[in-house]
Amino acid sequence: MSISALLTDVPHPGEFIRDEIEARGWAQRDLAYILGVKEQAINPIMSGKRGISPDMALALSKAFNISAEYFLNLQKAYELSTARAADPAIARRARLQSIYPIREMIKRNWFEETNDVSMLEAQVMRFFHTNSLDQVPGLAHNAKKGDYSATTPLQWAWLYRVKQIADEMVVQPYSEERLKRTVSEMPRLMIDPEEVRHVPKALADCGVRFTIVETLPKANIDGVCFWLNRTSPVIGMTCRHDRIDNFWFVLRHEIEHLLNRDGQSDELSSEIVDMDIEQQSDDIPEEEIRANAAAAEFCANQDALESFYIRKYPYMSERDTLGLSRRLQRHPGIVVGQLQRKMGKYSWLTKHKVKIRQFLLGSASVDGWGNPAPVSL
């Protein structure tokens, strides 16, 4: 027999007390005298209108020589038997929240807020393009994130928001040659931080859908590239490290994946994930090594950087570093970021690693920081 069945029609503890005093030949006023209270104090308990408090349970245990826990258990059993049945939607909402960051996604306006759990489940399946909640999302992609383990539900949620936005973007037809030419021209944008505002249009003119989506808590992802189809590439970034060096490194990293068509396959099931820019590892895929090398060379000529490092380390002055930045025609923060990685000292001259996200908000398709992207739900 189930516990729920045992808890049906459980009598109020007052009935047990009434049986006990009758068995002892007491009257209700006798019990009140024994407990040292007025008879009016126990009337509500005897009539089932008030429950047994811990203090009363201790007093009754002394009067009847029965443990206080027994009376408290009687009270709990009665309360459970009379409690309203729990809403079945609770378990369904708990299941959704245990898989995906539902509350955060509602807060970010990725889902419409609703008390109808069936409608919420339908929104989740529509968002992830699945036919059931048991179906695992799938999207061929390269994601620059914190580690190379399987893509987490948090990261899937972020990836699909990028896809949702990219699906509604209008850009020029994709041209790989135009993208290569644009990459070769981008260094002129890497001196003044404000010039990053030109990046979204430059990529759109090449047929690349570019969007910035604020990361979800603990998603640990910097950027992603994937293909809506064989001629529609997408680059999404989080700008979670709002620094000029991180922006240009991650952007060039993802562009390299596009140029190599990494992650593009006839089956939308292959996926390649990337390491966090701040982390070093020997166990990374070949395509990641290529993308990291291209990004590093893009940020600063590696031969010139190595020569400078050999000649100056460990006595690299700020003045010398600024001189190197001028010769390389890069913002000092970009060069500092590369040198920091070589030294493993991320506090060195960090003041030059200026913030750039503010310059992108007006030109890029942005979702987050209190402003959801205007897409169809």
pTM above 0.75, yes or no: yes
**What is the per-residue pLDDT across 174-188, written as a single tens digit (0 to 9) for each?**
999 999 999 999 999
Residue 217 has pLDDT above 70, yes or no: yes
The CA distance from 83 to 59, in Å, is 26
Phi, psi (rounded to 5 degrees) for 272: -130, 130
**Mean of pLDDT over the chain:** 89
**Do residues 146 and 276 lie in contact, with contact meaning Cβ atoms separated by under 8 Å?**
yes
For 3-82, CATH gives 1.10.260.40
Please list the residue range(s) of the chain that carry CATH number 1.10.260.40.
Answer: 3-82
The Cβ of residue 279 has, within 10 Å, a number of other Cβ atoms equal to 9
CA distances from 256 to 216, 233, 328 (A): 25, 12, 21
Ranking 97-101, 153-157, 256-260, 277-281 by mean pLDDT, the lowest is 277-281
Residue 147 has pLDDT above 80, yes or no: no
The pLDDT, as a whole number, for residue 74 is 92
**Do residues 250 and 195 lie in contact, with contact meaning Cβ atoms separated by under 8 Å?**
no
**Do residues 193 and 353 lie in contact, with contact meaning Cβ atoms separated by under 8 Å?**
no
DSSP string covering 327-376, please?
HHTS-HHHHHHHHHHHHT-TTTTGGGS---HHHHTTTSEEEBTTB-----
